[in-house]
Amino acid sequence: MSTPYRPDSGAEIRTGAGTRGGPGGRRARVGAGRGVPLPLLLPALAGLVFLLLPLTALLVRTPWRSLPEQLTSAEVWEALRLSLICASAATAVSLVLGVPLAWLLARAEFRGRGLVRALVTLPLVLPPVVGGVALLLALGRNGVVGQWLDSWFGITLPFTTAGVVVAEAFVAMPFLVISVEGTLRAADPRFEEAAMTLGASRFTAFRRVTLPLIMPGIAAGSVLAWARALGEFGATITFAGNFPGRTQTMPLAVYLALQNDPAAAVALSLVLLAVSVAVLAGLRDRWATVR
Amino acid sequence: MTDFGKECGSGPAHVAGLDARLVVDRGGFRLDVALRVAPGDVVALLGPNGAGKTTALRALAGLTPLSSGHLRLDGTVLDGTPPEGRPVGVVFQDYLLFPHLTALDNVAFGPRCHGASKADARAQAARWLDRMGLAEHSGVKPRRLSGGQAQRVALARALATRPRLLLLDEPLAALDARTRLDVRAQLRRHLADFEAVAVLVTHDPLDAMVLADRLVVIEHGLVVQEGAPSDIARRPRTDYIARLVGLNLYKGRAEGHVVRLEAGHVITTTEELTGPAFVAFPPSAVTLYRERPTGSSARNLWRCEVAGLETHGDRVRADLTGGLPLVADLTTVAAAELDLRPGAPVWAAVKATQTHTYPA
């Protein structure tokens, strides 16, 4: 018998995200479970508290009374708008480049594929600040490629909004590639073969058969990449700087505010937390239940 | 096998149907199979798992490249043509219906790829589904179809591109026993209507014999026997085929009315023959005795030991070793009376008139 296609990697990612946020259903089941060994239960509960305590503290210390005026200030909206636009643009860039890259890694046979995959995932583990420095060296005004961009096309990326998008895409794209590649591997490549025997070229087979099949993985990967881009700090501040209205995204604004106006920092953090929860809820509602 | 390629040459001689020699080398495994099938004919590639049947089918479809050999369909050389350029339709073992498309859009996929407009492709698909008796299921996604329905959608999808070569990989393997009976009968009808070449792969001799006009038996990547189903059923040439068609088969040298087997046994037959020969007889031709029979007229008598017993309905099939390894069928009552059990010694007798001898 065949193994019908299941968007497996999506499930993995959901589980990963779920543990971080503390999914109610799963926690209840563990608590009610009979015979959970104490040496597992105690550290598990401690871990849960450890993850939830900071978030609770954020809620406890939120200046609820002054919140409306904090959140309606022009700077907050500026930063939030910029964050949303840049994260979305970075996700779009990741999609356009990352999905074909994932296909290449999952389907094409070539020498050194393992090495390429390792290099692609490097930004996942690379400290973002290092990523920012590397981006400066590559695309900076005097960078390896940047000097030509500057002298030939007059394009300058560092310390611009476009630079924010570049920095965020650099950090976020591996998430999408890994997610999509996992889904592609789980998808039966023989569907593409079936399409080819029906007269579809390899690209048509990809576009009309594979792409719809791996849509759950692409969606999950996009959300993950988008969330990562939204929270991106290190590479952004290094490569694009911290100019309000131009490159100052929410995380940068939070960091800056924490030094001048802690209450504002808390308010901004609350907004980001709300966005994160919304993303998580969206993931669960849309891709966890539709199977 | 004969190399048909030489007959056709490279000239414009138009040979209708399939003419192929499929050679696929793949790390330790080599497939080398010659196939020639006239339009309208159905050929079954029959063989055990791992014999190379599916590889042969994939090579015909262009999904596995040929290491050497040739592939011509209606006189057109297809050796290097990619799958999408071949006038070939495939029904895959587990159908591989696109799960995100409705039955109608699955069938319309092929015509669409061949340049039909969306509306036209759908109209064609609707006609095919109608022919398969699936008109009311056209809007349904594959996961909501039963096994038999999915099989017919897969067949409709393969036929909708109007292939000159239809390939079916274990077309009935994924079905349960009851559905299988119906689907086999329907498939037989559709294959009878199909005017081009059909090649199907199966490990089930019944499927092969019901569906195909000709069988090509493949073992270890090579053709071991081919011919009409009835001929193969009567005169198997390998142990695998003999087991499939349920015959005891021995190879030896015929000298008049006796065949001397390589192991030293002698089988008396009624057919006169000289030279390398096969002797075959059905398990029902074997009579078992607890004691050495004295009054039996059977010329062939061996002392054996029961190796295993299996029930098939009201019959018991006994696997015998010791003297001559053979399979015997007897009634449950007889088995009980003989007190058969693994390890029990028995005498097996076969009448010469019930054996069939033919040249090896």
Question: Domain with B323 in it: what CATH number?
Answer: 2.40.50.100
> For the sheet containing B286-289, what is the strand order?
B286-289, B345-350, B300-312, B315-322, B326-331
What's the gap in Å between the CA of B159 and the closest CA on chain A?
A: 10
Q: What is the pLDDT of residue B322?
A: 81
Q: What is the pLDDT of residue A3?
A: 42
Residue A13 pLDDT exceeds 50 = no
Q: What is the pLDDT of residue A2?
A: 42
| Mean pLDDT across B311-326 | 86
**Angle at the Cα of B314 (from B313 to B319), degrees rounded to 5?**
85
**Same-domain check for residues B152 and B83:** yes
What's the gap in Å between the CA of A95 and the closest CA on chain B?
A: 21
Q: Is B250 on the interface with A (CB under 8 A)?
A: no
Residue B267 lies in a domain: yes
Give the pLDDT band (50/70/90) at residue A48: very high
**Same-domain check for residues B340 and B237:** no
Inter-chain touch B89–A5, beta carbons under 8 Å: no
Q: What is the pLDDT of residue A71?
A: 81
What are the helix and strand counts (H, E) for chain A?
A: 16, 0
| Mean pLDDT across A17-26 | 41
Inter-chain touch A197–B143, beta carbons under 8 Å: no
What's the gap in Å between the CA of A204 and the closest CA on chain B?
A: 8
Size of interface A-B (CB pairs under 8 A): 67
Q: What is the pLDDT of residue A287?
A: 52
The residue ranges of DSSP E strands in A1-49, in sequence order, are none
Q: Is B179 on the interface with A (CB under 8 A)?
A: no
Give the pLDDT band (50/70/90) at residue B20: very high
B98, B141, B145: best mutation site toward chain A, by most A Cβ within 10 Å? B98
Write A150-157 long-range contacts (CB < 8 A, 24+).
A157/A239
Amino acid of residue B201: V
B113, B167, B168: best mutation site toward chain A, by most A Cβ within 10 Å? B113
Tens of pLDDT along B246-282? 899 998 899 888 898 888 888 888 888 888 999 999 9
Q: How far apart are CA B355 and CA B269, in angstroms?
A: 6
**Same-domain check for residues B311 and B230:** no
Nearest to B52 by CA among B66, B39, B42: B66
Question: Domain with B196 in it: what CATH number?
Answer: 3.40.50.300
**Same-domain check for residues B315 and B252:** no
Write B113-120 long-range contacts (CB < 8 A, 24+).
B113/A195, B113/A198, B113/A199, B113/A200, B113/A204, B113/B84, B113/B161, B114/A199, B114/B161
**Same-domain check for residues B230 and B257:** no
Cβ-based interface (< 8 Å): residues of A facing B:
1-2, 4-5, 188, 190-191, 193-202, 204, 208-209, 212-213
A183, A198, A201: best mutation site toward chain B, by most B Cβ within 10 Å? A198
Give the pLDDT band (50/70/90) at residue B333: confident
Q: Which among B218, B241, B264 is the end of a domain?
A: B241
Q: How far apart are CA B129 and CA B136, in angstroms?
A: 9
Q: What does DSSP say about strands B68-73 and B76-77: parallel, antiparallel, or unpaired?
A: antiparallel
Q: What is the pLDDT of residue A136?
A: 93
Which residues, including other chains, have CB under 8 Å from residue A17's CB and lie 6 or more apart? A224, A280, A283
Inter-chain touch B96–A2, beta carbons under 8 Å: yes
CB atoms within 10 A of CB A179: 27
Q: What is the pLDDT of residue A10?
A: 41
For residue A207, list chain B residues with Cβ-Cβ distance below 8 A: none
Nearest to B128 by CA among B85, B89, B100, B170: B89
Residue B232 lies in a domain: yes
Domain with B320, as residue range(s), is 283-352
Inter-chain touch A2–B174, beta carbons under 8 Å: yes
Contact between B323 and B304 (Cβ < 8 Å): yes
Cα–Cα distances (Å) from A39 to A29, A35, A36, A50, B241, in that order, read: 18, 11, 9, 17, 61
Residue B309 lies in a domain: yes
For residue B114, list chain A residues with Cβ-Cβ distance below 8 A: 199
3-class SS at B209? helix
Query: Which residue in chain B is spatially nearest to A199 when comparing CA positions?
Result: B84
Structure tokens at A261: 């106006």
Inter-chain touch A197–B93, beta carbons under 8 Å: no
Q: How far is CA B358 from the centre of its chain?
A: 22
Q: How far apart are CA B66 and CA B55, in angstroms?
A: 10
Residue A16 pLDDT exceeds 50 = no
Q: What is the pLDDT of residue A92?
A: 97
- Kindly state the helix (H) or strand (E) to which residue B288 belongs, with its residue range: strand B286-289
Residues 33-52 of B with CB under 8 A from A: none
Largest CA distance in chain B: 81
Q: Is B65 on the interface with A (CB under 8 A)?
A: no
- Kindly state the helix (H) or strand (E) to which residue B5 belongs, with its residue range: helix B5-8
**Same-domain check for residues B267 and B296:** no
Contact between A164 and A249 (Cβ < 8 Å): yes
Q: What is the pLDDT of residue A286?
A: 55
Residue B197 lies in a domain: yes
Sign of CA dihedral B143, B146, B149, B150: positive
A196, A197, A203, A214: best mutation site toward chain B, by most B Cβ within 10 Å? A197
Share of chain B above pLDDT 90, in %: 47
Nearest to A213 by CA among A236, A186, A237: A186
Nearest to A42 by CA among A53, A52, A54, A30: A30
Cα–Cα distances (Å) from A47 to A15, A52, A54, in that order, read: 16, 9, 12
Residue B121 lies in a domain: no
Inter-chain touch B109–A200, beta carbons under 8 Å: yes
Inter-chain touch B161–A198, beta carbons under 8 Å: yes
Q: What is the pLDDT of residue B204?
A: 86
Q: Where are the alpha helices (DSSP H) in A61-160?
A: 67-71, 74-107, 113-125, 128-139, 146-148
Identify which has the larger pLDDT, B194 or A16.
B194
Hunting for tokens 């999808």 — which residue is that? Answer: B157
**Same-domain check for residues B165 and B292:** no
Share of chain B above pLDDT 70, in %: 95
What are the helix and strand counts (H, E) for chain B?
A: 10, 18
Q: What is the pLDDT of residue A27?
A: 44
**Same-domain check for residues B149 and B207:** yes
Query: Which residue in chain A is spatially nearest to B89 when comparing CA positions?
Result: A197
In chain A the domains, ranked by start, together with CATH numbers, are: 80-247 (1.10.3720.10)
Give the pLDDT band (50/70/90) at residue B199: very high
**Angle at the Cα of A211 (from A11 to A93), degrees rounded to 5?**
85
**Same-domain check for residues B65 and B80:** yes
Residue A55 pLDDT exceeds 60 = yes
- Among B96, B114, B157, the residue with its CB nearest the CB of A190 is B96
| Mean pLDDT across B205-215 | 89
Cα–Cα distances (Å) from A233 to A109, A196, A254, B189, in that order, read: 36, 45, 10, 68
Residue B236 lies in a domain: yes
Q: Which among B257, B281, B305 is the end of a domain?
A: B281
Instruction: Please count the structural domains in chain B.
Output: 3
**Same-domain check for residues B277 and B307:** no
DSSP B294: S
Q: How far apart are CA B248 and CA B90, in angstroms?
A: 36
R_g of chain B, CA atoms, integer Å: 25
Residue B116 lies in a domain: no
**Same-domain check for residues B45 and B155:** yes
Helices B147-159 + B118-131 axis angle, to 10: 130
Nearest to A198 by CA among B190, B85, B18, B105: B85
**Same-domain check for residues B86 and B170:** yes
Identify which has the larger pLDDT, A96 or A78.
A96
